[in-house]
Structure 1
Amino acid sequence: MAALCLPVLRDPPVDHADVGAWVEALGEATWIVLSGADDRRCRVITTLLHGNEPSGVLALHRWLVERPRPRTRLVMLVANVEAALTPPHFTHRSVPGERDLNRCFRPPHAGASGALARAVVEDLQVWDPECVIDLHNTSGNGPSFAVATQRDPRLERLAGQFCERLIVTDFRLGSLMELPLVEPGLAHCPMLTVECGGALQPEAREVAGSVYRRLAEWPDLTDLVATPDLDILVHPLRVELQPGVSIAYAREPQPGVDVTLWARIDEHNRGLTLPDTFLGWLGERGLAGLRAWDAQGRDRLPELLCERQGRLYPRSPMRLFMATTNVEIARSDCLFYLVPL
């Protein structure tokens, strides 16, 4: 095997009862390798690309205590250790001042986050896995779902093992799951993101745990059966703030704030959002403070959302997901995604 860029722990004992102490002992991005009954094949799970999304590493720590013996070599990456350990622990998406690691998997690989992303890419090509599953937490509370970059029966079969919904996105943001589209050496490898639910939701850790257990137990990925009732949504749009627009989350409109979203807007991450669903209040800028991009860079806000007496509503039925109540994520990333129906 060629040399790896990142450190490797092979079949490690878990010496720390506390997951924070365990991550501190890792100290940096680390591959954790479990020998399999058949080490000629390899499967990869990545976690903690965002330091404030700990369910994957919490589930991994708990699962390793059981000393599992997978069917194939199973390789787990605990990625953004530095961000996770920035005080307060598990609250920083990225190292302060650094780029979002999960936006750095396309050239140029600038800065420390870019260098780490490039190291992950090079190591993945060495591992040559059968599949890669990237574990995340949603930025607000909500059900688990999977995300893929294309309609692919292999990805749909994988997604159906863990979630009831698959989002097929045509946004290209530089995320890890896009690597088969940009790295010829990984073009054969199905890569899927599993959003396990909110970081504080106990069930999110259970979803993450199911990924480790099932990927370890399956004899052959080609034997997986499609889930006929998997809900597949395509072509999501990103609703964002316009530059310089202020935002708050509250139960009443905030004076001097351009957009005040309902304090529990993340409740709409479940089910159908109808045209009479109140989403928040708009200040003097009105709808001009928002935009709704599709993957072709078109702002489709006017056909999707509307203002009625200073309040924000959908124009038609839609599915919302990844709606956050975190002001920093709203400013730096997006307010929510939606798929019109």
Structure 2
Amino acid sequence: MRIHFFKNPQPEQFGETPAEFLKTLGGPACLFFEGRDTSRTRALVTLLHGNEPSGTLALMRWIGAGHQPAVNVVCIVASVQAAASQPAFTHRMLPGARDLNRCFKPPFDDEQGRLAEEILALLDLHHPEAVVDMHNTSGSGPAFGVCTFEDRHHDALVSLFTDTLILSNLGLGALMDISEDKYPTVTIEVGGREDAAAHELAFAGMQRYFMAEQVLSGSAPNAVTHLHDPVRLEICSGNRLAYAAVPQEGVELTLRPDIESLNFGTVSAETPLGWISGDLQSVFTAVDMTGQCAVARIVRQEGNRLYPAGPRKFFMVTNKADIALSDCLLYAVAADGQAL
């Protein structure tokens, strides 16, 4: 996998539309912007998933504005081919490919793994003082940050974009897993991929990240609220899923069609989630940080109806069946933000 390199790119190089921008990149790309202070470097990684456009759109706007960043900035735009596949920005990855944001740990023995390894090598080469990995959420919802390491540096980075930080160390092979060993790294989920507000937040936060003299200390734009050690609620392999206002025949799980509206608000134990055929353990799997089954701490069943197990905060709730089945349905913490 060869990454294409662009130094101090100019607006006229890329055309005026996202399609032209992706075509010019030609594949995974690294864009380097020389800063006023050339002794330091920051990194931005985006488009690890081809259906998450906000970071790419924000980067196009940044290039068009013609600003010089405070320090050197290296920007890696990853899943360009997936994003360019028609319909544009709808394919998370190419058919048959692994999720790139699960490939940042060995073995690097397939095309996605080799691309992840090359991205890590590029970051090591530039040794940035900070890394921001920009994403869209799989459903509509508020912005939030995620990191594996709790300290003021990570708080400061997240505060450039949002006031909510999820502290998680699931070890899934995400880019942010490098944070403890290398340099402060945060994932920023700016909101839904079709939400104009998410595109605006991506650009505003990117401007702050590129232009601020300091991003790891000083006064934070937002006070940051922490949510601790969320648990992933996954759907067991072989189950079928539908989103509808009434239970559907022939599927094990029917979820309310507006379930993504539950993102980040506190849900009570009486909030209806949908309908289930069979028992919880045959439909869901969830493992907490100690390796214990946590399904019964996230959801409960009354007859064929599905409810939260108690007052909870849910996030990354998706109404996209393919993502719910291949990745996870939602993440959960207690209502006070602590681990379940």
Contact 1:164 1:230 in 2 (8 A): yes
Q: Give the corresponding residue for 1:328.
A: 322
For 1:278 and 1:68, how far apart are their aligned partners in 2? Answer: 49
Q: Give the corresponding residue for 2:10.
A: 13
Q: Which amino acid aligns with 1:306?
A: R
Q: Give the corresponding residue for 2:338.
A: none
Deviation at 1:229, TM superposition (A): 3.9
Percent identity between matched residues is: 37
Q: Secondary structure at the match of 2:292?
A: coil
Deviation at 1:78, TM superposition (A): 0.8
Deviation at 1:284, TM superposition (A): 3.2
Q: Give the corresponding residue for 1:51.
A: 50
Instruction: Return structure 1 stretches of 4+ with deviation > 4 angstroms.
Output: none
Q: Give the corresponding residue for 1:40.
A: 39
Q: Secondary structure at the match of 1:294?
A: coil
**What does 1:90-105 align with in structure 2 at a 5 Å threshold?**
90-105=89-104
For 1:140 and 1:333, how far apart are their aligned partners in 2? Answer: 13
Contact 1:241 1:330 in 2 (8 A): yes
Q: Give the corresponding residue for 2:107.
A: 108
**Distance change in 2, residues 1:273/1:227 (3 Å):** farther
For 1:166 and 1:312, how far apart are their aligned partners in 2? Answer: 28
Contact 2:255 2:273 in 1 (8 A): yes
For 2:298 and 2:316, how far apart are their aligned partners in 1? Answer: 17
For 1:227 and 1:90, how far apart are their aligned partners in 2? Answer: 31
For 1:223 and 1:190, how far apart are their aligned partners in 2? Answer: 12
Cα deviation per residue 1:105-127 (whole Å; 9 max; x = unaligned)? 00001211001000001110001
For 2:298 and 2:311, how far apart are their aligned partners in 1? Answer: 9
Q: Secondary structure at the match of 2:297?
A: helix
Q: Give the corresponding residue for 1:245.
A: 239
| RMSD (Å), alpha carbons | 1.6
For 1:273 and 1:20, how far apart are their aligned partners in 2? Answer: 40
**2:198 aligned to which of 200, 204, 209:** 204
How many residues are matched?
A: 333
Q: Give the corresponding residue for 1:277.
A: 271
Q: Give the corresponding residue for 1:288.
A: 282
Contact 1:290 1:301 in 2 (8 A): yes
The answer for unaligned runs of 5 or more in structure 2 is 336-340
**What does 1:40-79 align with in structure 2 at a 5 Å threshold?**
40-79=39-78
**What does 1:147-158 align with in structure 2 at a 5 Å threshold?**
147-158=146-157
- TM-score for the superposition, normalised by structure 1: 0.94
Q: Secondary structure at the match of 2:117?
A: helix
Contact 2:153 2:217 in 1 (8 A): no
Deviation at 1:303, TM superposition (A): 2.7
Q: Secondary structure at the match of 2:254?
A: strand
For 2:191 and 2:146, how far apart are their aligned partners in 1? Answer: 13
Deviation at 1:288, TM superposition (A): 2.7
**What does 1:186-201 align with in structure 2 at a 5 Å threshold?**
187-201=181-195
The answer for unaligned runs of 5 or more in structure 1 is 182-186
Deviation at 1:8, TM superposition (A): 1.4
For 2:135 and 2:290, how far apart are their aligned partners in 1? Answer: 25
Deviation at 1:6, TM superposition (A): 2.7
